[in-house]
Amino acid sequence: MEGVLYKWTNYLSGWQPRWFLLCGGILSYYDSQEDAWKGCKGSIQMAVCEIQVHPADNTRMDLIIPGEQYFYLKARNAVERQKWLVALGTAKACLTDSRTQKEKEFTENTEALKTKMSELRLYCNLLVQQVHKTKEASISGVSEPESEIDMGALLKSTCDTFLKTLEECMQIANTAFTSELLHQTPPGSPHLAVLRTNKIKHSVLSSHTSTERQMELNPCENGSVKAEFNHQEQTLIKSLECLNLETNEGSSDVSVEDHIAEDLTGIKEDGENKLQAVESCGAHKFLQSELNSSSGLTLCEEDRSENDSPTFFSVMSNRFSDIELREEEGIPTEEFLESCYAIVPVLDKLGPTVFAPVKMDFVGNIKKINQKFITNKEEFDTLQKIVLHEVNAGVAQVRNSATEALLWLKRGLKFLKGFLTEVKNGEKNIQTALNNAYGKTLRQHHGWVVRGVFALALRAAPTYEDFVAALSVEECDPQEETFYKGMQRDLSIYLPAMEKQLTILDTLYEVHGLESDEVV
């Protein structure tokens, strides 16, 4: 639903007409319908707000998130207010019913998982006892009478039962949680990076298609109808920069330039975007200069040589190294969360089944932060503002707060950074690299049960050759010198940027005493 409502602004301006749009469970408002393309002035999520009808004024209604947001609204008449109340109430009810059902399923699956985890603890204790007895028997050299139970067979049986129960835990986690948290990106969440796992033989036109699709998704995601050209221009440029253009000597001068001209013209002619000709011309000149400087061969990062191969990290849609910090080292929330989503597939390459709980926890923390972010994108445009807001409100250390989610998210990022650093430094054993990174980062925050599960997960880690091959995006041998140079190049850019942002967050948490010694 959409239409004009009067919104209380302040005591000087009073009630001012604004254009409101209810879409995807989010109510957004604009200066006017004609100025909607400029972007919304603010928004409120219906699932978490209260709808209050004014007792005296039959044209007024208030939307309130206690302690955070207040929308005081008036319709032009009582009939119009009633229409808005029905639409807003329906949106809130649908979201609440859906959330209630999901919470019920989540609770049931959580209880089932807890039961299996208790069985795991029991079998783990049995294993420890049986291993201890077997060790004592082997040291003493005394053979057991034939009438007694064979400890070796008993130990094997317990191991089989333990592994079977662990597999059941993984199945519960995969079927119950993975489908919701990983495969369906919720409205308002940064989109999981779609990585080019296919061999790179795409045209510039296909790159523009994905850019255009992202442009269409952004308005729905934000509850608005805006299309910011600068953002789309950057996305197009990034897509082109990370795309190896296969050219022949006779045809390279025509197709690339023509495609770029068509792409920019198509974006300009889109009715919703209302782009200015000067902007399109400026983008065209920029891209043309990039083409000239690269001699028509490739549009990759500036320090990539002709002999280097592109890798997973060079074609990522969002990277920590692309993030530009705000004033006072402010980390932009949206870009940071998108970069976190983009690195999640690394866990899939390590093992989509055994690392599913790690991935589920990682994505779950991103979602919690994003839910806080979308309640007020202008106020929470940096991670520091989110944390300081919850510190001032006294909810920073409340369970499931955005601050707690960010705490565990940065711990997970430290683990991934440590692992990738081991690989970059030449560690050829993936199990050793994972174990070293885990010991330096997450191990101190985990209890013995989680540590045991991680130790078993290490046994399913891929070989170095398989893991590195999964990071390649072209038909190339991971043993080749060009691919090794490409990995060194990309990680030398990616990891320092990640470390810098994690250091900023560590300092923030230390200053406000937000670090926790809680063990899970």
Domain ranges of the chain: 2-76, 106-139+148-183, 201-243+245-297, 321-520
Phi, psi of 69 (to 5 degrees): -130, 145
Q: Which CATH class is domain 321-520?
A: mainly alpha
Task: Record the tokens describing residue 14, joined without a space.
Answer: 């009073």
CA angle 211, 409, 463 (to 5 degrees): 80
Element (H, E) at 17: strand 14-23
Q: What are the angstrom distances between the C-alpha of 202 and each of 176, 207, 222, 233? A: 36, 7, 30, 19
**Predicted confidence pLDDT, tens digits, the chain (520 residues):** 888 999 988 888 889 899 898 887 888 888 888 777 777 888 888 877 888 888 888 899 888 887 777 888 999 898 888 888 888 888 877 765 555 666 667 777 777 887 888 888 887 888 888 888 877 777 776 555 544 557 777 777 878 888 888 888 877 777 665 544 444 444 444 443 333 333 333 333 334 434 443 443 343 344 333 333 344 444 444 443 444 434 343 444 444 344 444 444 444 444 444 334 434 444 444 444 444 444 333 333 444 444 567 788 888 888 888 898 888 889 999 999 999 988 888 888 887 666 777 788 888 899 989 988 998 888 899 999 999 999 998 888 888 889 999 999 998 999 999 989 998 888 888 888 888 988 888 888 888 777 777 777 777 788 888 887 777 776 555 556 777 788 888 888 889 999 999 999 999 999 988 887 776 6
Q: What is the pLDDT of residue 254?
A: 41
Whether 385 contacts 330, CB under 8 Å:
yes
Q: Which element (helix H / strand E) includes 223?
A: none
The number of beta carbons lying within 10 Å of the beta carbon of residue 472 is 20
CATH C-level class of 2-76? mainly beta
pLDDT for residue 177: 58
| C-alpha to C-alpha distance for 102 and 461, rounded to whole angstroms | 32
The pLDDT value recorded for residue 190 is: 42
- Predicted TM-score of the model (pTM): 0.46
**What pLDDT was estimated at residue 475?**
57
Contact 175, 450 (CB under 8 A): no
> What does the H/E/C string look like for 366-377?
HHHHHHHHCCCC
Segment 52-61 long-range contacts (CB within 8 Å, at least 24 positions apart): 53/85, 61/85, 61/88
What residues contact residue 197 under an 8 Å CB cut-off, 6+ apart?
473
Distance CA 369, CA 335 (A): 12
